[in-house]
């Protein structure tokens, strides 16, 4: 994850399933977004004051970043590249700060709602079933479940892998370790029962759900974004979440704790795919063409997909139905106005092919 300037952190990145899921821009949504921007801005400001402007690092869809020790120590898991970096700028016994952060990170549980990524609180609970169990092997090639093994591995890292660099006035001490090569598949496997349940419930292919989860978060249940998208499928409360609750006859929007629960997140994201498939884009007759449209709409909205073909929604559907699926794919990946949406279709489509082969 790139280090982010504080001003960029608070920019309204309202694209993808984050603005994503719907093209609603009502007053409540604006107020909620502004509140989140303020929270993010203050959080980035705290980090900048302590680490320096060039060292601002914030959690994202594929990056777990947790600060502790009054912002002096941080743990960064990059779920895309498969690396864990623990760093500290503590001036008193930095090795002890690193050791505790390594142990806490290796043994943290899989309840994303229990950890506040936008504070320096020491709220990481050591779990008997660590989220990273099997995704990290110690220096003896063993998975890490118990505190004694995590502590031994932390000592090994400090003795053999400790690094030091300077940034501004700070000396930064760190250790870096790798996740196992098949870490992505191991995380995906954790959520297969939930994916199958949602697939049967809403009539959405398992391979599509998995492909979107991989593209959105690399199966990171702690995933957050600058537009306040949350969880494995990067759902926003006031857009896709609101649509799904309305479909279910519920009032309001899902809470943050609801969307950080993996099963609820997968259910909500899959339900929104069903809304796109059956309602917003239900007039598209060819299932492959409709799938391309649904994928792109999950990122940039159904309206933006239809406008690629015609400003009139009815005519857009007619045009889509007169074209071959391959031409629909070509059009959406070259003519959609949002570069992110163009790339998103390519990524999800390729990922879905790989899951269909498994």
Distance, CA of 66 to CA of 317 (rounded, Å) = 46
Dihedral over Cα of 315, 316, 317, 321: its sign: positive
Q: Give the dihedral sign, CA 323/327/332/335.
A: negative
Phi, psi for 88 (deg, rounded to 5): -145, 150
Of the residues 27, 48, 200, 216, only one is catalytic, namely: 216
Q: How far apart are CA 82 and CA 78, in angstroms?
A: 6
- The span from the CA of 229 to the CA of 221, in Å, is 12
Quickly tell me which residue has 């400003």 as its tokens: 311
DSSP 349: H
Q: Which two tokens stand for residue 256?
A: 């943050």
205 flagged as catalytic: no
Exposed e or buried b per residue across 118-138, where buried means at least 16 C-beta atoms within 10 angstroms of its C-beta? bebeeebeebeebbbbbbbeb
> What is the chain's length?
358
E strand segments, 50-185? 63-68, 73-78, 83-88, 163-167, 170-178
The two tokens of residue 10 are: 């608070």
Residues with catalytic function = 216
């Amino acid at each position: 994850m790139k280090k982010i300037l504080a001003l960029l952190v608070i920019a309204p990145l309202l694209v993808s399933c984050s603005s994503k899921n719907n093209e609603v821009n009502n007053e409540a949504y604006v107020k909620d977004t502004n509140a989140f921007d303020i929270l993010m801005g203050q959080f980035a400001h705290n980090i900048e004051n302590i680490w320096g402007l060039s060292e601002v690092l914030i959690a994202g869809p594929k990056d777990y970043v947790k600060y502790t020790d009054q912002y002096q120590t941080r743990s960064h898991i990059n779920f895309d590249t498969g690396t864990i970096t623990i760093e500290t700028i503590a001036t008193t016994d930095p090795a002890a700060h690193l050791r505790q952060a390594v142990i806490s990170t290796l043994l943290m549980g899989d309840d994303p709602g229990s950890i506040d990524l936008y504070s320096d609180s020491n709220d990481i609970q050591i779990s008997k079933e660590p989220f990273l169990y099997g995704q990290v092997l110690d220096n003896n090639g063993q998975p890490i479940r118990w505190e004694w093994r995590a502590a031994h591995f932390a000592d090994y890292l400090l003795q053999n892998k400790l690094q030091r660099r300077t940034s501004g006035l700070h000396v930064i001490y760190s250790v870096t370790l790798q996740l196992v090569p098949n870490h992505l598949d191991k995380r995906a496997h954790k959520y297969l029962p939930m994916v199958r349940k949602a697939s049967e419930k809403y009539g959405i292919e398992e391979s599509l759900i998995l492909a979107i989860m991989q593209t959105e978060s690399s199966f990171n249940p702690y995933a957050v974004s600058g537009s306040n998208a949350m969880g494995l499928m990067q759902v926003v409360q006031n857009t896709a979440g609101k649509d799904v609750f309305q479909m279910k006859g519920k009032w309001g929007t899902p809470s943050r704790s609801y969307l950080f629960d993996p099963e609820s997140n997968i259910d909500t994201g899959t339900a929104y795919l069903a809304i796109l498939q059956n309602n917003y884009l239900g007039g598209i007759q060819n299932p492959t063409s409709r799938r391309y449209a649904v994928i792109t709409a999950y990122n940039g909205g159904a309206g933006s997909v239809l406008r690629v073909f015609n400003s009139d929604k009815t005519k857009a559907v007619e045009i889509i139905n007169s074209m071959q699926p391959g031409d629909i794919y070509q059009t959406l990946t070259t003519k959609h106005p949002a570069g992110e949406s163009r790339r998103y279709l390519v990524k999800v489509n390729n990922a879905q092919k790989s899951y269909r082969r498994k």
